[in-house]
Structure 1
Amino acid sequence: MQAWLSDLQQLLAHGDTVVLVTVARVEGSAPREAGTKMIVTRDTARHTIGGGHLEWRAIEIAREVLRDGVRRPRMRRLERMALGPSLGQCCGGAVVLAFERLDVSDLGWVATLAKRLAAGQASVRSVSFGPSADPVLLTEGEPGCATPDCLLWDGAGFDERQGKAPAGNQDGVSPAGLAALLTETIVPREFSVVLFGAGHVGAALVRVLATLPCRVRWVDERDAQFAQHLLPAALHDLTNVEVDANDAPDEAVDEAGPDSYFIVMTHNHARDLALAERILRRGDFAFFGMIGSRTKRRQFEHRLAARGIDPARLARMACPIGIEGIADKSPEVIAIAVAAQLLRTVEANRSGRTAADVPSSATLSFSPSTDHDSDIR
């Protein structure tokens, strides 16, 4: 589930009243894209629409909406903000922000949206910014839709040039009821990662992946390794990580869904080879990366080819793993390099690019950060 939605559901279920701030439109250069969200309560603000004075002003307006909404519970407001000298930001563009006051009565559509995303289904959320304050409309997205979208359809009452409503109305909508309509396609953002190896690099990588929109199955047959690297309290922070102390780690390959992202960094070369063969025989993976040196890659290619693995599939194996150009081999640096490579691949897959469009560490003319076989795995 997307982090903002999880937090929103939790706050509303607790009985809190909040303002959901959405970047409804971007004009020119801006710090965040359309559809980005922030949640503002009376005392806190969660997530970010870009920071700086823009965010400070957005929080200020959101709390005005919270106060004014006592008399108008389903209050909504649009504001256009130029990212120039008036806000002390040099982006040069402008954004239109949508403010929605939400309370426990909105929990229904929030819970429905959360269930759809958890099931891998896209949804379209429509919000009107008129005096009638129509309920949020949630409909199913197009089958196979994987691209988020956010559109603001202007009504007669919103002056997009000045970011103001007609005289006498400060809500950004027309008193006649002709108002803007926000429609956004919200798609599941989480990708599935199966990580083999609970050594120093694996533990460092898990801590990075815990902050990203993914679901991680962390596999190692050595149960003590998990306790060595993670205090019990730390496990509570890894809400998107499933720890799997498994004497038969190969099972995790078979149980993973299609388009999974596999990362192999165990302490045992024989185990790495067995996992590599099993993953490559599947063929339906979105990414397969393995820690190691160029020598290890050549040895594995020779052995896997002898076992009948198609050379085209071998070419998809990222080994050495990690983005290019980083020489430091400490676990934390390797983890960031691998996470960056994962994110780059996720972006390529979602935009419909092929693997050939994403540089592979196997084709680089200089050594990436993880061109090694060491004991830190």
Structure 2
Amino acid sequence: MNWLAAIPLRLAQGPLVLVTVAGVRGSAPREAGASMLVGPDFVEDTIGGGHLEWEAIAEARARLLTAHLTPALRHFPLAASLGQCCGGVVWLAFETLLPEDLTVWQQRAASNADGIPSTRRLSGTARCCEWSGEEQPGRLQLPAAGSEHDWQMLQPVRPPTFCLSVHGAGHVGRALVQILAPLAIRLRWCDARAELLADAPAGVECVGESDPLEAVMGAPAGSSHVVLTHDHALDLALSEAILTRGDFHWFGLIGSQSKRTRFRQELARRGFTPGQIARMQTPIGIEGIRDKAPQAIAIAVAAQILQQRERALAALRDTATCPRHSG
């Protein structure tokens, strides 16, 4: 949902075009519902790259030059004509957004950030999309033969279900936030030095509490946490607060093996059980990467976080498909 968070910021500067993967048949670079923003001199997010995206950007910018306001649906076979060999078919919806639409998009971006799902309907017969407060399945109604505008797209706009709190705005924390911000994660960036959060990417929730422990208490139940502050004493205090809450999905702490030993001993002294302490993962990052540059550490940790996100989403899917039995 990086595109949704970016719309209010970009739309305040002038018109832009929202390009959405309205439908897919066969193999394609992105799934139905993926979107990107195109302006005269910028692109936010992606519909999969390659020649398909290049053609989409060119058409979007042509719409801006000609002030074309009616939504359009385009059909792209992913074959030799596009220099791509996916073999599938993609339908792209092109939608011009105007600064006069800014208030609506601000409200929708804010609702999504608050965890409220919705669905938008776009058709070839109306300039603007319509919104519903209910989440509906995505669907594309193709135009009837001989009718260019007789089509309709339903796009679910779902808030991310995986929430991660990044505690620390130092070199690694900053690099990690930059990597994760474009992904489908509810990202909370926490540091008492609020000025360090001023340039957070669009869609990132900045938590500049004067008491860093308040950032732990304010996290939704089931969240994940990664602690990488500038202060070992603060790392320990945050670790204690996270373990005390106990209702987290995953908790990682940056550090060496010696730091791990010291923290485990101190947490045991403070009354935590071996089972509780074992839930704190440190060191962090996928194995096999020895580079200690902040960006390299951030990449290794980001990969581990994505693994955790896959596990959390799989658990949600299993819960949703598990049959219920009445007592």
TM-score scaled by length of structure 1: 0.70
After superposition, the C-alpha distances for 1:259-305 in whole angstroms (9 at most, x for unaligned) are 33322234555543332222111012232101223454455445534
Q: Which residue of 1 aligns with 2:189?
A: 217
Structure 2 CA distance for aligned equivalents of residues 310 and 78 of structure 1: 59
Q: Which residue of 1 aligns with 2:315?
A: 352
Q: Secondary structure at the match of 1:34?
A: coil
Among the aligned pairs, what percent are the same residue?
44
Structure 2 CA distance for aligned equivalents of residues 19 and 238 of structure 1: 21
Q: Is this contact kept in 2: 1:150–1:184, CA < 8 A? A: yes
Q: Which residue of 2 aligns with 1:103?
A: 98
Q: Which residue of 1 aligns with 2:221?
A: 258
After superposition, the C-alpha distances for 1:300-329 in whole angstroms (9 at most, x for unaligned) are 445534544354443332212112222223
Structure 1 CA distance for aligned equivalents of residues 208 and 161 of structure 2: 20
Q: Secondary structure at the match of 1:352?
A: helix
Structure 2 CA distance for aligned equivalents of residues 102 and 269 of structure 1: 48
Q: Which residue of 2 aligns with 1:358?
A: none
Q: Is this contact kept in 1: 2:27–2:87, CA < 8 A? A: yes
Q: Is this contact kept in 2: 1:121–1:141, CA < 8 A? A: no
Structure 2 CA distance for aligned equivalents of residues 289 and 278 of structure 1: 13
Go from structure 1 to structure 2 and tell me whether the alpha carbon gap of 1:34 and 1:279 turns closer, same or farther (over 3 Å shift). Answer: same
Q: Which residue of 1 aligns with 2:151?
A: 180
Structure 2 CA distance for aligned equivalents of residues 292 and 325 of structure 1: 16
Q: Which residue of 1 aligns with 2:55?
A: 57
Equivalence map 1:1-377=2 (5 Å): 2-14=1-13, 16-42=14-40, 44-66=42-64, 70=68, 73=69, 75-104=70-99, 106-107=101-102, 109-129=104-124, 132-133=125-126, 135-142=128-135, 150-157=138-145, 166=146, 171=148, 173=149, 179-189=150-160, 192-197=163-168, 199-209=170-180, 214-219=186-191, 235-236=198-199, 238=201, 240=204, 242=206, 244=208, 246=210, 248-266=211-229, 268-305=231-268, 307-352=270-315
After superposition, the C-alpha distances for 1:331-360 in whole angstroms (9 at most, x for unaligned) are 221111112222332333234269xxxxxx
Structure 2 CA distance for aligned equivalents of residues 190 and 275 of structure 1: 23
> How much has 1:202 moved relative to structure 2?
3.7
Q: Which residue of 2 aligns with 1:375?
A: none
Q: Is this contact kept in 1: 2:25–2:90, CA < 8 A? A: yes
Structure 2 CA distance for aligned equivalents of residues 101 and 217 of structure 1: 32
Q: Secondary structure at the match of 1:183?
A: strand
Q: Structure 2 stretches of 5 or more lacking a match?
A: 318-327
Go from structure 1 to structure 2 and tell me whether the alpha carbon gap of 1:352 and 1:297 turns closer, same or farther (over 3 Å shift). Answer: same
Go from structure 1 to structure 2 and tell me whether the alpha carbon gap of 1:205 and 1:116 turns closer, same or farther (over 3 Å shift). Answer: closer
> How much has 1:80 moved relative to structure 2?
1.7
Q: Is this contact kept in 2: 1:209–1:216, CA < 8 A? A: no
Q: Structure 1 stretches of 5 or more lacking a match?
A: 143-147, 158-165, 174-178, 355-377
Q: Secondary structure at the match of 1:152?
A: strand
Structure 1 CA distance for aligned equivalents of residues 170 and 127 of structure 2: 53
Structure 1 CA distance for aligned equivalents of residues 252 and 91 of structure 2: 41
Structure 2 CA distance for aligned equivalents of residues 67 and 203 of structure 1: 37
Structure 1 CA distance for aligned equivalents of residues 104 and 208 of structure 2: 34
Structure 1 CA distance for aligned equivalents of residues 133 and 277 of structure 2: 39
TM-score scaled by length of structure 2: 0.79
> How much has 1:139 moved relative to structure 2?
0.8
Aligned residue type for 1:181: Q
> How much has 1:54 moved relative to structure 2?
0.8
Q: Is this contact kept in 2: 1:109–1:136, CA < 8 A? A: no
After superposition, the C-alpha distances for 1:22-43 in whole angstroms (9 at most, x for unaligned) are 0112222222222111223455
Structure 2 CA distance for aligned equivalents of residues 236 and 140 of structure 1: 31
> How much has 1:183 moved relative to structure 2?
0.7
Return the index of the structure with the highest Cα Rg: 1
Go from structure 1 to structure 2 and tell me whether the alpha carbon gap of 1:182 and 1:211 turns closer, same or farther (over 3 Å shift). Answer: closer
Q: Is this contact kept in 2: 1:210–1:241, CA < 8 A? A: no
Q: Secondary structure at the match of 2:138?
A: strand
> How much has 1:85 moved relative to structure 2?
1.0
